[in-house]
Amino acid sequence: MKVLVVAGARPNFPKIAPIMREFSRVESIGCKLVHTGQHYDARMSRVFFEDLELPEPDFFLGVGSASHAEQTARVMIEFEKVVLAERPDVVLVVGDVNSTLAAALVAVKLGVRVAHVEAGLRSFDSGMPEEINRKLTDHVSDWLFTTCEDGETNLRNEGIAGSRVCPVGNVMIDTLRWCESLARGRKSPGKLGLDAKGYALVTLHRPTNVDDPRMFERILGALIQIAGHLPVVFPIHPRSRCRLAEFGLQSRLDAEPGLRLCEPLNYLDFLGLLADARLVLTDSGGIQEETTVLGVPCLTLRENTERPITITTGTNVLVGLEPTAIVENSLAAIRGEWKTGTIPPLWDGHAAGRIVDRLLRDFGLP
């Protein structure tokens, strides 16, 4: 079985790492890695290959950043050349970035079967580009590898045949468990002069939060209030860094010693900070899952989430974007007034093995 695994953005790399390791253990599978170059900054890409021990990509498409249309088109044009040359049996894509949809469309139009890892997630917000990507990818895929029951229900409600739906668990958690002891050994909080459980950790990057100057300023105002009670660490995404300068907000943050901005961190250092945080404020999807498994209170700064199981089962609360709600919920977490949560079924560190087993079974391979 010849497989092309496609990745291109920071959220993809922790998802493909355990899958690549599982593929490498099976003699009957020939696997090649395609890096689209959607994230090409060393801080957003190269460090993940080092931390996660990913092999060098067999193909680097170098598409770079652009509008959604241009980026998707560039991936399609370049990836088609790879598929025509390699003639794979399966194209495996993960998550919901532009590279995911672009590669899936190329494959299905060329008659190549598609496996989508992290299928079925829905925010029910069609204004999110990721929602369009994940829905369209699901509807052209042959294998829909789901992380939780919510995903299976969503696919069923959209009329997708149950034979294509494969509950396997969460590959992000495979990577977390594989790296957790290494990450804790980095002692990331101590490097920043912080004590375990003595700080809040923030990530912000979604356009709805950082591209609107009024919204970004309101969120930063809430973070400054929280920093008056507990140090706040903010590894800042390149997009958010640019917006700070563009909107003239940098000087306001520089005057707040409790709010500490730093450059984007590699996976292990960030996971170490995440594991020992008192609370986490984020607009990321994957961090909602990681905090649930680590038992860390998570405040999601969005109006919706495609990962509701982290709310119904885990440690996540959808607090929205009102500064008052952000601050009040943060202070509650600081006081220890937060739900404990449990780990969802199949989030046990073995999702990648289930994916490979299913593909082998369907191809009749040992």
342 found inside a domain? no
223 found inside a domain? yes
* pLDDT, tens digit, 9 for 90 and up, residues 255-285: 899 999 998 899 999 999 999 999 999 999 9
83 found inside a domain? yes
Mean pLDDT throughout 149-169? 96
For residue 266, the 8-state DSSP code is: P
**Residue 325 maps to which CATH number?**
3.40.50.2000
Which residues are registered as beta bridge partners of 299?
Answer: 281, 317
Kindly state whether residues 25 and 73 are assigned to the same domain: yes
Backbone torsions φ then ψ of 56, nearest 5 degrees = -60, 140
Kindly state whether residues 63 and 108 are assigned to the same domain: yes
Confidence grade of residue 253 (pLDDT, cut at 50, 70, 90)? confident
Place of tokens 């498409």: 61
298 found inside a domain? yes
Instruction: State the number of CA atoms in the 13 A half-sphere of 132 facing the CB.
Output: 11
Which residues are registered as beta bridge partners of 116?
Answer: 93, 144
Positive or negative, the CA dihedral 205, 236, 71, 75 is negative
Instruction: State the number of CA atoms in the 13 A half-sphere of 129 facing the CB.
Output: 14
Kindly state whether residues 188 and 320 are assigned to the same domain: yes
List the Cα angle 266/216/314 in 5-degree steps. 60
Kindly state whether residues 60 and 34 are assigned to the same domain: yes
Mean pLDDT throughout 320-342? 97
286 found inside a domain? yes
* pLDDT, tens digit, 9 for 90 and up, residues 86-119: 999 999 999 999 999 999 999 999 999 999 999 9
Question: Domain residues for 149?
Answer: 2-170+347-362
Kindly state whether residues 153 and 195 are assigned to the same domain: no
Place of tokens 């400054």: 224
Kindly state whether residues 188 and 137 are assigned to the same domain: no
Kindly state whether residues 103 and 226 are assigned to the same domain: no
Kindly state whether residues 218 and 242 are assigned to the same domain: yes
Can you tell me the distance from the alpha carbon of 177 to that of 52, in angstroms, rounded to the nearest whole number? 12
Q: Which residues are catalytic?
A: 205
Query: Does the pLDDT at position 75 exceed 70?
Result: yes
242 found inside a domain? yes
Confidence grade of residue 64 (pLDDT, cut at 50, 70, 90)? confident
Place of tokens 């700080």: 199
Mean pLDDT throughout 178-196? 95
Q: How many domains does the chain have?
A: 2
Nearest to 142 by CA among 366, 365, 364, 355: 355
Kindly state whether residues 165 and 291 are assigned to the same domain: no
Task: Write a three-state SS string for 138-175.
Answer: HHHCCEEEECCHHHHHHHHHCCCCHHHEEECCCHHHHH
177 found inside a domain? no
Kindly state whether residues 16 and 159 are assigned to the same domain: yes
Nearest to 204 by CA among 226, 238, 237: 237
197 found inside a domain? yes
Kindly state whether residues 211 and 318 are assigned to the same domain: yes
Amino acid, res. 44: M
Kindly state whether residues 63 and 134 are assigned to the same domain: yes
pTM (predicted TM-score)? 0.94
Contacts of 47 (CB under 8 A, 6+ apart): 266, 267
Can you tell me the distance from the alpha carbon of 146 to that of 348, in angstroms, rounded to the nearest whole number? 14
Can you tell me the distance from the alpha carbon of 149 to that of 152, in angstroms, rounded to the nearest whole number? 5
Alpha-carbon distances of 171 from 35, 232, 287, rounded to whole Å? 18, 29, 13
pLDDT recorded at residue 10:
87
Can you tell me the distance from the alpha carbon of 30 to that of 3, in angstroms, rounded to the nearest whole number? 6
Query: Does the pLDDT at position 354 exceed 70?
Result: yes
* pLDDT, tens digit, 9 for 90 and up, residues 36-61: 997 665 555 678 888 999 999 999 99
Query: Does the pLDDT at position 296 exceed 70?
Result: yes
pLDDT recorded at residue 254:
85
